[in-house]
Structure 1
Amino acid sequence: MKLITNIAAAVEEQSVSAREIAANMAQAAQGLQKVIQSASENSHVTGEIAGEVSEVNCAAKGMALSSSEINKSADTLSKVSEQLKSIVGQFKV
């Protein structure tokens, strides 16, 4: 009878241990799911940031083109101004 009692106690201990292991595994799985979700969110945010950086890059290129055109226009205006000064200088009052 004592052997059966010892076996029953061992089985009960094994059962408790198995439940604890199952609970720990469930908790670990939940933690892993949170890590996966966080990584997914970070990946999404990283993608958004990359898109915004690309937009800023395109805007900077557009500004560089505009700046170049403004410089050309300023050079042209300067030349016209010099020509006008020359023409006005030919008139005597």
Structure 2
Amino acid sequence: MPNQSPPHTSKKGIKQETYRLQSLKKALGHLIVASIQSKHIVTYRNVRLKDGKSGTTVLHELSYLSQIFDVALKDWGIPRKRSTVPPIK
């Protein structure tokens, strides 16, 4: 049987997803998902833009974060009153 990559590394875009997750974890990992507020996300967005990240990069990161919130709600039962991720400006 030929050597194969582990399933989690064969996904297209895994490097980008890993980078996004690491960036989000560094900035928000100390918070409990249910306690994350818009002000945390706005601060994250502003810092990333100030650090020279493109609006597209930050938009992708915020989209990924929105997906995390969807999983938290649907799969883990962590309630959200409304979307926490504000639009990028």
Q: What TM-score, normalized by structure 2, do the two folds share?
A: 0.26
Structure with the bigger RCO (C-alpha within 8 Å, sep 6+) is 2
Normalization by structure 1: what TM-score? 0.25
Task: Name the structure where helix makes up a greater proportion of residues.
Answer: 1
